[in-house]
């Protein structure tokens, strides 16, 4: 057996020994969390699309042994959300749809940390508002990533009645995140709400003025360095109100952004750059 083979055997043996010994918290802090951080720093989308499955399988295995580990659930939801988004950017939409189910499933379980009864149909909107009122700032990571995992799955459901009901619930979750900690994850709750109000007709809750306000707040919080904000601003609000100048300005800002200036957001920003290039190439179709 070569050196690489022995090294792989050592790694696998260490993981198995750790699982048998019940040291999941040690695994999360020393192996899983650093791997998540490294994943977010990747700029090679194909490498992520091809290489992440082995890591995701490890997370699934850890959760099967420790289904109530909140930190691991958070990591799993974040990881499946990132990977699903990367798959879409790699052109593997069918696979992204399949993996979005895992993002949703882990996200809904994560939400039960502060919303004990919640599942897809666990609360009416009024009941959800009451339940969310009891959540505190410490619940923000679970609320945001749980809601985001759910929303990611919903975007592939082609506007079904069930998806519209689900989005209304995610809206309430993101509103609560905004109230508790609007700066969490680069102001991404504002980003969701800007997209929500900017991409729908008025009869279904659309509000262009509110959409723009949320996007501008997200850009301010992220200091224009979290590029998904500019892309969503252009794709939803600017396109909806037929503002070509704003559309092109926002997307050109993304294209010109140096990825190395914000390495911890490299994956999200690389996906945004690819999307921005595609939207700019099709600008004459939209205006």
Which string of DSSP letters, residue by residue, matches 82-111? HHHHHHHHTT-HHHHHHHHHHHHHHHHHHH
Alpha helices in 112-183 (DSSP H): 125-133, 140-154, 161-181
Rounded CA separation 258/199 (Å): 28
Determine contact, residues 170/188, Cβ cutoff 8 Å.
no
**Which segment, 48-62, 90-104, 118-132, is predicted with the most confidence on average?**
90-104
In this predicted structure, the answer to whether residue 151 has a pLDDT above a threshold of 60 is: yes
Rounded CA separation 160/166 (Å): 10
Can you list the domains of the chain with their CATH numbers? 41-179 (1.25.40.920), 182-287 (1.25.40.920)
Determine contact, residues 211/236, Cβ cutoff 8 Å.
yes
The region that residue 226 occupies, defined by phi over 0 for left and psi between -120 and 50 for alpha, beta otherwise, is beta
Summarised one tens digit per residue, pLDDT across range 166-219 is 888 999 999 999 999 999 999 999 999 999 999 887 777 789 999 999 999 999
Summarised one tens digit per residue, pLDDT across range 9-67 is 433 344 334 434 444 454 454 556 666 667 778 878 888 888 888 889 989 998 988 88
Query: Which tokens sit at 263?
Result: 């390495």
Nearest in space to 192 (alpha carbons), one of 180, 176, 201 = 176
Long-range contact list for 127-136, CB < 8 A, 24+ apart? 128/169, 128/172, 128/173, 129/172, 132/172, 132/173, 132/176, 133/176, 135/176, 135/180, 136/180
Relative orientation angle of helices 266-281 and 33-40, to the nearest 10 degrees? 30
Query: Which tokens sit at 233?
Result: 């601003």
What's the whole-number average pLDDT of the chain?
85
Q: How would residue 3 be classed by pLDDT, with cut points 50, 70 and 90?
A: very low
Specify the pLDDT at position 35. 63
Specify the pLDDT at position 15. 38
């Amino acid at each position: 057996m070569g050196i690489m083979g022995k090294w792989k055997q050592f790694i696998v043996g260490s993981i198995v020994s750790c699982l048998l010994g019940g040291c999941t918290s040690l695994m999360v802090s020393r192996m899983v969390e650093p791997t998540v951080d490294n994943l977010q720093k990747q700029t090679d989308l194909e490498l992520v699309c091809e290489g992440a499955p082995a890591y995701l399988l490890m997370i699934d295995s850890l959760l099967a042994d420790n289904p109530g580990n909140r930190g691991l659930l958070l990591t799993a939801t974040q990881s499946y959300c990132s990977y699903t988004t990367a798959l879409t950017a790699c052109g593997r939409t069918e696979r992204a749809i399949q993996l979005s189910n895992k993002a949703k499933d882990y996200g809904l379980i994560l939400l039960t940390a502060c919303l004990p009864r919640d599942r897809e149909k666990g609360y009416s909107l009024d009941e959800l508002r009451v339940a969310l009122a009891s959540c505190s700032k410490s619940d923000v990571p679970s609320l945001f990533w749980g809601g985001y995992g759910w929303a990611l799955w919903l975007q592939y459901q082609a506007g079904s009645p069930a998806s519209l009901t689900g989005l209304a619930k995610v809206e309430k979750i993101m509103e609560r995140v905004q109230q508790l900690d609007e700066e969490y994850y680069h102001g991404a709750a504002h980003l969701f709400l800007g997209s929500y109000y900017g991409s729908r007709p008025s009869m279904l809750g659309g509000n262009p003025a509110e959409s723009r306000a949320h996007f501008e707040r997200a850009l301010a919080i992220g200091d224009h360095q979290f590029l998904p904000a500019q892309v969503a601003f252009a794709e939803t609000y600017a396109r909806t109100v037929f503002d070509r100048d704003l559309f092109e300005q926002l997307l050109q800002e993304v294209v010109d952004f140096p990825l190395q200036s914000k390495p911890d957001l490299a994956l999200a920003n690389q996906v945004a750059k690819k999307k921005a290039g595609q939207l700019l190439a099709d600008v004459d179709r939209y205006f």
